[in-house]
Structure 1
Amino acid sequence: MEFDFYWLLLALPVAFLLGWIASRLDLRQLKREDQASPQAYFKGLNLLLNEQQDKAIDAFIEAVQHDPDTSDLHFALGNLFRRRGEYERAIRVHQHLLARADLKREERERAQHALAQDFMKAGLFDRAEEAFKALEGTAFSTDARLALLSLYERSRNWHPAIEVARQLEAAGTGSFTQRTAHLWCEVAHEADARGRSEDAELALQRARESAPQAARPLVMQGQRLVRQGRHAEALKIWDDLMVMQPQAFSLIASDYARSAQACGEAGNALAKLQNLYLQVPSVDILTALNSLQPDADARRQALMSHISQAPSLSAAQGLIRERLATHVPLEEAEIERLQQALATAAKPLQRYRCAACGFESQHYFWQCPGCQGWDTYPPRRLEDQ
């Protein structure tokens, strides 16, 4: 039986037509499915922008049901759950994403990062640590290390925190020398609390090596020496602090003066504090300086000078204390300076504060200029409350 080419020529157009019709039907079906998902997605987005988070969640869930394979919808839903504080639901969404075998590597890393954030927010630090460590070598490795550093600091796990800070600096993320110095200081503080003096000293040395200009290691070294009765050595450490970090010296100015008196260096310490006060005038340094100053007139003059330049209650209190100690009446100029200091200190308290939004004003308002609320100002100034 011979093959008839006529039927072949007739079948080809028919097959083409049937294929075209089938493809159109598939395209329409696909188009309908694609339209359903974006509509729900944009509806959720609109609700989210209008701060209707409950309705937005419902819209995103609907979108996920229409297109369960779309990872972006899962990410949007999971992140929304996290923002709402529904961490368990966020964890389930991101775990579901990670369980998918067809997920691309970039999206899998993104889901891992989102899951780690869920654990962190939920306070599941052990699981968060594991999840962040799993991101090593990925595009999220820097973010993961920063999160781990914060996690270790919150859990007071100082040695792993120091290692992560070292890795971040080695990777060129930025300078972590100051932060590392603080971490070593925390190690020293815990070692001292446990009676491990040698470990504490070593940790403080590491802190100074990490950030030679940092103030805290010098402050702590001096304080440790004072507790051991080694006041002269403490003064040498704090002399370095005075040169390198004069702004921070006020933190231990009174300790410095007491140590100077304890080891017979009051005269030298007084001269150094006077020079420092000229560079960095502060009440703490002035108080330490006057504790070493034997001349009552010089003490009062120093207090008067400070009040005239920077009116403060602490300096005013010091002037009154000098009056009570020496029984020498205050002069009119001194009383005027005291009045100026009190007026400056009282000014921030002579305000009204809105109970609804905290807006403060010198004048009383029936309607708050900040939140537009009525009768939200208590009719009493801050100093009367």
Structure 2
Amino acid sequence: MELDLTWLLWGLPIAFALGWIASRLDLKQWRIAGRQAPRAYFRGLNHLLNEQQDQAIDAFIEAVQSDPDTAELHFALGNLFRRRGDYDRAVRVHEHLLARSDIGRKDRDRAQHALALDFLKAGLLDRAETALAKLEGSDFEGEALLALLSIYERSRDWPQARRIAEKLDQAQPGSFVGRLAHYLCEEAELAQRAGNSLQAFKLLDEAVTRVPSLARGWLAISALRTQVGDLAGAYTALEKLNQHAPQALPLAARHLVELARKLGKEADAIRMLEAAHARAPSLDVSEALASLGADDRSRRQRFLSHLAQEPSLVMATRWLEGETLSDPTAQAHVKNALEAACGPLQRYRCAACGFEARQHFWQCPGCQAWDSYPARRVEEL
């Protein structure tokens, strides 16, 4: 039986033709997909530039579907979800990136950092803390430490905040010693409330040793020593405050006067307060000096002395309180009007965000900045 090779003559050309057609179809599909993905990407970019986040998200989703292996598109999409407040979808995008085995170490760290930001924005502080801890040793370690510091401040976990601040102070070019000293003061307050005065003194001593110019530390030491009955130690702490942080003496003026009266050191306190007033006229210092006056006339003279150095509606009101108008009804109305006008002028104002408050804060309730409140009132700024 002879072998029929005729089918080979037909089969080979047909197989070649089918292979060529298939390759052309694949190339055409690849070109179409290649054109569609960049077009969707640039359309999304255009929406972003026009601040059209919803349309940009739709375009990037289309681009990701066309090219699911591109990490940059996933990062762009995840960031858009986060900016829009769609944190669940942002988390899913970044967790998908972390689950992939084909991305490099840098992209993996970047996805981990983005995931931590998602949790932070969503207010899931415990999950954010876990995600940030995994960035140790990465290029994002500095940013992760700063975010952890913010978390511990918000949760008022001062020992952990102190630990992170020490790391940042060693690693970062900026100094975090000031914040660290405030954390020590916060811990001291907690110890004081718990009745552990010895631990509170230890923490405060460490704070002023690290930062001698920390006004808060000296004020806290003075208050604590007053509480335990050590008036001489309390007065000494205020003397050190005047030595290391004289600009903060107005915050301690009233307490200084009270201690001076009990210890018989009125003359010494007057010298200290007058020196402070000569450096920078202060409402609190003037009122403290006036309270040390022998009689009403000397007190009112102190108010006039302040007005001679610096115009002040508050001091003018204090002086006018000693004047008697011919009409008693007018007297009460004028007094109420002046007190109402003086109220806002006696507040403290944050130098970082402008938040005003009746009391002095070491950390602004508005912007969370430390040491942003000057010791001077709004009228004096």
| TM-score bracket for this pair, using the shorter chain length | 0.7 to 0.9
Q: Answer yes or no: is the 8 Å Cα contact 1:232–1:260 preserved in 2.
A: no
TM-score, with length taken from structure 1: 0.76
Tell me the equivalent position of 2:305. 305
17-26 or 194-203, which deviates more: 17-26
Does 2:242 align with 1:247?
no
Return the letter of the residue paired with 1:57.
I
1:51 to 2:51 alignment? yes
Within 2, Cα distance between the matches of 1:254 and 1:248? 12
Residues 343-385 of structure 1, C-alpha deviation per residue, up to 9 Å, x if partnerless? Answer: xx69x99xxxxxxxxxxxxxxxxxxxxxxxxxxxxxxxxxxxx
Shift in alpha-carbon separation, 1:58–1:293, aligned structure 2, 3 A: same
1:179 is aligned to 179
Q: Distance in 1 between matches of 2:308 and 2:22?
A: 93
- 1:378 matched to which residue of 2? none
What is the alpha-carbon distance in structure 2 between the residues aligned to residue 105 and residue 23 of structure 1? Answer: 36
- The count of residues paired between Structure 1 and Structure 2 equals 320
Residues in 2 aligned to 1:282 and 1:27: alpha-carbon distance in whole angstroms: 81
Amino acid at match of 1:68: P
| Cα distance per residue 1:20-65 (max 9 Å; x no partner) | 9987765554333222112111211211222222222111111111
Deviations along 1:47-86, one digit per CA (max 9) or x if unpaired, are 1222222222111111111111111111111111111111
* Aligned counterparts of 1:206 and 1:186: Cα–Cα separation in 2: 12
- What root-mean-square deviation, in Å, do the aligned CA atoms of Structure 1 and Structure 2 show? 2.9
- Residues in 2 aligned to 1:158 and 1:194: alpha-carbon distance in whole angstroms: 15
Q: Structure 2: which amino acid aligns with 1:171? A: A
Match of 1:353 in 2: none
Structure 1: any 5+ residue segments left out of the alignment?
1-15, 331-337, 350-385
Instruction: Report what 1:131 is aligned to.
Output: 131
Does the 8 A contact of 2:222 with 2:233 survive in 1? yes
Deviates more, 1:222-231 or 1:29-38: 29-38
Relative distance call for 1:323 and 1:272 in structure 2 (3 A) is farther
- The answer on whether the counterparts of 1:270 and 1:293 sit within 8 Å (CA) in structure 2 is no
Instruction: Tell me the SS of whatever aligns to 2:321.
Output: helix
Decide which moves more: 261-270 or 304-313: 304-313
Matched, 1:167 2:167: yes
In 2, the alpha carbon distance for the partners of 1:242 and 1:102 equals 62
Instruction: Look up the SS of the partner of 2:221 in the other structure.
Output: helix
Distance (Å, rounded) in 1 between the aligned partners of 2:209 and 2:22? 75
What TM-score does the superposition give when structure 2 sets the normalisation length? Answer: 0.77
Q: In the alignment, what sits opposite 2:81? A: 81
- Taking the aligned partners of 1:262 and 1:323, their CA distance within structure 2 comes to 31
| Aligned residue runs from structure 1 range 213-224, under 5 A | 213-224=213-224
The answer to whether the 8 Å contact 2:191/2:199 transfers is: yes
Residue 121 (structure 1) aligns with? 121
| Counterparts of 1:121 and 1:201, CA distance in 2 | 38
Between stretches 313-322 and 127-136, larger displacement belongs to 313-322
Structure 2 residue matching 1:262: 3-state secondary structure: helix
How far has the Cα of 1:179 moved from its partner? 0.5
Partner of 1:198: 198
Q: Given residue 185 of structure 1, which amino acid in structure 2 is its aligned partner? A: C
The residue type equivalent to 1:148 in the other structure is: L
State the partner residue of 2:99. 99
Matches within 5 A, 1:18-37: 28-37=28-37
Structure 2 alignment gaps of length 5 or more: 1-15, 327-333, 346-381
Following superposition, the deviation at residue 299 of structure 1 comes to 2.7
Matches within 5 A, 1:271-310: 271-310=271-310
- More moved, 296-305 vs 116-125: 296-305
Amino acid at match of 1:82: R
Amino acid across the alignment from 1:51: E
Query: How many angstroms apart in 2 are the aligned matches of 1:269 and 1:56?
Result: 67
Output the CA distance in 1 between the equivalents of 2:321 and 2:221.
33
Task: Name the structure 1 match of 2:374.
Answer: none
Distance in 2 between residues matched to 1:20 and 1:266, nearest whole Å: 105
2:155 alignment counterpart: 155
Structure-2 residue corresponding to 1:383: none
Q: Is the 8 A contact 1:303 1:315 kept in 2?
A: yes
| Cα distance change on mapping 1:70 and 1:267 into 2, 3 Å | same
**Hey, what does 2:366 align to over in structure 1?**
none
CA displacement, residues 287-330 of structure 1 (integer Å, 9 cap, x when unaligned): 11111122544432321232244332321232123447xxxx89
